[in-house]
């Protein structure tokens, strides 16, 4: 009994620590549903008495331990029993019932119902798990846990493994606990796919297992996210981080990574029953999958995220109107669109830049190094006015080495157009819409200098 109580006391102390340290982090309501075996086999002999008598007595002691902390603790209990309503034969696979729904202060009622159970029927574990899904009423911030206590395997046509995985995938429950009472060795593997299995081979083990399972079910533990710099130290911060339930894919935490007053990653309260996937939204994002949080242990979650700054500079008058597309080197994936006149952090690496000026400027192989700044500047454009005198068809080209590259088409309906072009040698090509022969096509070259103003007339 003493060891059993120690687990409960440990949980209570750990819960108070988590609540005191993270008053601003709203802890979820923990709802524990006991799914209890009331089938005929529970009359079987087990050490000092029938299995049902031993289970009733030890569960009653465990519930007494929880009685005092339920008022302060953020948890509720409920009880579902199967195999206790109709005798076999004949077999009734619908014999499962929610005997005590969730609520505060219902421990005495659960104890009373447990004592009144008379084993009679079969073992519909899969059906009981399916029904249990509706025992958890809708809740915005709840963690739903099933503790299955059984001395036998599925006796009906259902598959408890499939049902358990389906409920976890939908986010209805967390991974269940399964306590096997005096189960044959051949049957133990049947429950490993249902949930975290504990083998209660004897009465003392069952008592201790109950304490361990309850403490794990009610526990929250601490963790910190270490965003590592180029030297492997957790100095990177101020990054949005999302934590997902690996099984259901649902978001469990939304934070902006923070260093505390000691310069260390701030502590989070996380659920040790959840396997997490983490996405740190650096550019590009960093992902860490299948993170296991160890109950009662401060867990360090590491992710390599060395970052450097990219500073885009242009004349004050034009900076906000010019954007730059950032891509990984030699890839077409767009990571970000950054405007000139801004600074943005990126993971250290090599990138390709496409600056949306006229003409576009392509800069490949730009290195952004950790803890440093890389500055890209562009010269001020020149103002170019193109006058055609009539409407027509045309385009502007810029010289690139030995060839001319298309920049922009002229408007078919305008006789006067104004552009801001980067410095360089240009050619405008034009034909009046009233001219029906290619011989009437006209062209003219012009040069643009930084900050200049140029008028190009097509006669």
Q: What's the CATH number where 8 sits? A: 3.40.50.410
3-class DSSP state of 139: coil
Same domain, 55 and 99: yes
Q: For position 396, what pLDDT does the model report?
A: 98
The model's confidence at residue 71, banded by pLDDT at 50, 70 and 90, is: low
Same domain, 189 and 44: yes
Q: What's the CATH number where 261 sits? A: 2.60.40.1120
Are 97 and 117 a contacting pair, CB within 8 Å?
Answer: no
* Whether the predicted pLDDT of 257 surpasses 90: yes
Q: Which whole-number Å values give the CA distances from 207 to 100, 165, 419, 451, in the listed order?
A: 22, 27, 82, 84
Same domain, 214 and 111: yes
Are 121 and 39 a contacting pair, CB within 8 Å?
Answer: yes
Domain boundary among 156, 191, 218: 218
Residue from 315, 308, 311, 306 nearest 324 by CA: 311
* Whether the predicted pLDDT of 22 surpasses 60: no
- Strand 403-409 relative to strand 416-421, pairing: unpaired
Same domain, 212 and 229: no
Same domain, 361 and 393: no
Q: For position 319, what pLDDT does the model report?
A: 61
* Whether the predicted pLDDT of 116 surpasses 80: yes
Same domain, 45 and 183: yes
Same domain, 57 and 8: yes
Same domain, 250 and 318: no
Tokens linked to 346: 């990126």
* Whether the predicted pLDDT of 23 surpasses 60: no
The model's confidence at residue 145, banded by pLDDT at 50, 70 and 90, is: very high
Q: What's the CATH number where 322 sits? A: 2.60.40
Write the pLDDT tens digit of every residue in 265-314: 999 999 999 999 999 999 999 999 999 998 888 999 999 999 999 999 98
* Whether the predicted pLDDT of 18 surpasses 80: no
3-class DSSP state of 320: helix
Q: For position 67, what pLDDT does the model report?
A: 81
Q: For position 402, what pLDDT does the model report?
A: 87
- List the domain range (segments joined by +) for residue 357: 307-377
Give the whole-number percent of the chain exceeding pLDDT 90: 78
Cβ within 8 Å of residue 376, ≥6 positions away: 310, 311, 312, 313, 324, 353, 355, 363, 366
Q: For position 28, what pLDDT does the model report?
A: 86
Write the pLDDT tens digit of every residue in 346-398: 999 999 999 999 999 999 999 999 999 999 999 999 999 999 999 999 999 99
3-state helix, strand, coil in the chain (%, to 5): 25, 40, 35
The model's confidence at residue 104, banded by pLDDT at 50, 70 and 90, is: confident
Full-model pTM: 0.85
- Residue 285: phi and psi, rounded to 5, are -70, 155
- Residues facing 245 on adjacent strands: 276
The model's confidence at residue 253, banded by pLDDT at 50, 70 and 90, is: very high
Same domain, 107 and 140: yes
Same domain, 372 and 404: no
Same domain, 276 and 197: no
Element counts in the chain: helices (H) and strands (E): 7, 29
Domain total of the chain: 4
Q: Distance between CA 77 and CA 38 in Å, rounded?
A: 18
Domain boundary among 304, 325, 358: 304
Peptide bond into 26 cis (omega under 30): no
How many other C-beta atoms lie within 10 A of the C-beta of residue 216?
19
Give the whole-number percent of the chain exceeding pLDDT 70: 93
Tokens linked to 72: 């302060």
Domain boundary among 377, 401, 435: 377
Same domain, 348 and 335: yes
What DSSP designation does 40 have?
G
Q: For position 47, what pLDDT does the model report?
A: 80
CA 65, 70, 73, 74: dihedral to nearest 10 degrees? 130
* Whether the predicted pLDDT of 429 surpasses 60: yes
In 305-452, where do the E strands start and end?
A: 307-313, 323-328, 336-339, 343-347, 349-355, 361-368, 373-377, 382-387, 392-400, 403-409, 416-421, 424-432, 442-448
């Amino acid at each position: 009994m003493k060891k059993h109580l120690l687990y409960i006391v440990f949980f209570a102390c750990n819960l108070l620590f988590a609540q005191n340290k993270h008053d601003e982090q709203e802890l979820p309501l923990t709802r524990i549903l006991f799914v209890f075996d009331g089938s005929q086999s529970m009359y079987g002999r087990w050490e000092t008495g029938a299995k049902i008598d031993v289970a009733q007595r030890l569960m009653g002691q465990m519930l007494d331990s929880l009685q005092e902390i339920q008022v302060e603790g953020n948890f509720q209990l409920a009880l579902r029993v199967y195999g206790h309503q109709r005798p076999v034969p004949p077999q009734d696979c619908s014999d499962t019932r929610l005997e005590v729904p969730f609520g505060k202060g219902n421990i005495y009622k659960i104890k009373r119902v447990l004592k009144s159970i008379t084993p009679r029927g079969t073992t519909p574990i899969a059906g009981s798990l399916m029904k249990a899904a509706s025992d958890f009423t809708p809740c915005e911030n709840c963690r739903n846990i099933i503790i299955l206590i059984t001395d036998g395997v599925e006796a009906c046509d259902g598959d408890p493994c499939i049902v358990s995985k389906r409920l976890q995938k939908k986010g209805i429950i967390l991974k269940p606990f399964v306590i096997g009472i005096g189960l044959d060795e051949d049957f133990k593997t049947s429950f490993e796919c249902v949930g975290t299995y504990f083998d209660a081979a004897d009465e003392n083990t069952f008592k201790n297992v109950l304490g361990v399972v309850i403490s794990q079910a009610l526990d929250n533990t601490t963790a910190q996210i270490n965003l590592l710099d180029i030297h492997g130290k957790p100095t990177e911060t101020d990054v949005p981080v999302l934590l997902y339930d690996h099984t259901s894919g649902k978001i469990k935490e939304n934070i902006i990574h923070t260093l505390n007053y000691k310069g260390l990653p701030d502590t989070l309260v996380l659920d040790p029953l959840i396997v997490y996937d983490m996405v740190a939204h650096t550019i590009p994002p960093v992902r860490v999958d299948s993170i296991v949080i160890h109950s009662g242990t401060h867990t360090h979650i590491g992710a390599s995220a060395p970052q450097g700054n990219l500073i885009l500079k242009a004349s004050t008058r034009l900076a906000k109107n010019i954007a730059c597309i950032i891509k990984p080197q030699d890839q077409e994936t767009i990571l970000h669109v950054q405007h000139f006149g801004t600074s943005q952090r990126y993971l250290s690496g090599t990138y390709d830049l496409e600056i949306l000026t006229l003409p576009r400027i392509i800069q490949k192989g730009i290195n952004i190094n950790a803890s440093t700044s890389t500055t890209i500047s562009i010269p001020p454009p020149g103002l170019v006015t193109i006058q055609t005198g009539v409407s027509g068809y045309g385009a502007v080209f810029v010289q690139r080495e030995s060839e001319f590259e298309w920049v922009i088409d002229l408007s078919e309906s305008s006789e006067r157009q104004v552009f801001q072009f980067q410095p360089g040698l240009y050619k405008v090509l034009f034909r009046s819409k009233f001219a029906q022969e290619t011989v009437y096509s006209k062209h003219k070259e012009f040069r643009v200098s930084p900050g200049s103003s140029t008028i190009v007339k097509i006669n």
